[in-house]
Amino acid sequence: MTGVKLKKDFESCDYPFNLGIVAKSPVMMELVKTALQVAKVDCTVLLQGESGTGKEIIANIIHQYSNRNKPMVKINCGAIPESLLESELFGYERGAFTGARKEGKPGKFEEAHNGTIFLDEIGDLPLHLQVKLLRVLQDKEIVRVGGTEARKINTRVIAATNKDLQQMVLEGKFREDLFYRLNVIPLKVPPLRERREDIMPLIIYFKKVFEEKYNVRRDCSNQVVKIFLSYDWPGNVRELENLIERIYVISDPMEVITPEILIKDYLNINRQKSDEKDVTVHRIITLKKANEELERQLLEMAVEKYKTLKQIARALDVSEATICRKLKKMKIILH
């Protein structure tokens, strides 16, 4: 994994790297450019993308280059028990509940006054708290748990989710009015499989990080690099980082990582390759019938893997109307 080409790959991503992100793909360059533009406009931002794509890094860029000079306050709406989430977000007054501090406590929104609050996993916010968040966005004020006084706040909201909020609105799991309040500036962070140009710079970056952290050296064979570049990375950048760290921790010193080691101990490559078998036929049939059968198999696989028409259409690169028509024609039920 050493050589002139790799060095150039790393150096070519200096522009976003000095913003805290390693990337060289056009789609990520454009996203970073947009984030820098949005940073100067004091409005709500909704970051959407799969888990592990780097939504928090984009949020950091937006906050860092905004006019707000306080640290960004972060909270994961899916990591805190529902019973505690309201007081964490909006604070509480003295005596609000058993175990509450005598003097009360400010919530994350008050801590982020004149700054930015990053609401990660916003799709996990319970419906009754969605109402309170809507009031914060509309009225720029909060009411602590157990209190009646409205407290004015000046807080910029950046929300992030790996869920399809529009689909959740249709299913009654997310308030439509809140969705539109959050969706003022929507930014999509693409998965790693859609920006494969970023895989090599990320490999080199994490390689450097873990060489310094563990004071060891590891090299990968060219075959392993090819596997890295072709693998779909369902866990995205987080999966890539974790995999490289495991290699540095577990493999023998100075050992060259080969595909056999990688497949055996780390990546579930075998399953992915079995899911990507070439299409084969066993007898002569008309091209029309072959196309129909291929379409049926693809649709059945997509329906099994994805939950919404939008996701299926995106995966098969056709319109939702086309998917709907074909499912109906083939009598395939979307569960």
Residues 94/143, Cβ–Cβ less than 8 Å = no
Beta-bridged to residue 158, according to DSSP, are 45, 118
Q: Tens digit of pLDDT for each residue in 32-76? A: 999 999 999 999 999 999 999 999 999 999 999 999 988 899 999
Q: What is the pLDDT at residue 274?
A: 41
37, 186: one domain? yes
- Residues, the chain: 335
Q: What is the pLDDT at residue 6?
A: 42
162, 52: one domain? yes
Q: How far apart are CA 313 and CA 182, in angstroms?
A: 25
Of 182, 250, 186, 185, which is closest to residue 216 (Cα–Cα)? 250
The boundaries of the domain holding residue 67 are 26-192
Q: What is the pTM of this model?
A: 0.74
Q: What is the pLDDT at residue 2?
A: 35
Q: How far apart are CA 256 and CA 279, in angstroms?
A: 35
Decide if 281 is inside a domain. no
Q: What is the pLDDT at residue 285?
A: 66
Q: Which of 247, 274, 301 is the last residue of a domain?
A: 274
Domain count for the chain, please give it. Answer: 3
Say which CATH number the domain at 142 has.
3.40.50.300
Decide if 20 is inside a domain. no
Of 16, 118, 137, 134, which is closest to residue 68 (Cα–Cα)? 118
183, 205: one domain? no
178, 45: one domain? yes
Q: How far apart are CA 329 and CA 334, in angstroms?
A: 13
Of 35, 129, 54, which is closest to residue 85 (Cα–Cα)? 129
Profile the chain (335 residues) by mean pLDDT over runs of 10 residues.
39 60 92 95 96 96 92 94 90 70 83 96 95 94 88 96 95 96 96 94 92 85 85 91 86 70 54 48 65 79 81 81 84 79
89, 184: one domain? yes
263, 299: one domain? no
Residues 157/112, Cβ–Cβ less than 8 Å = no
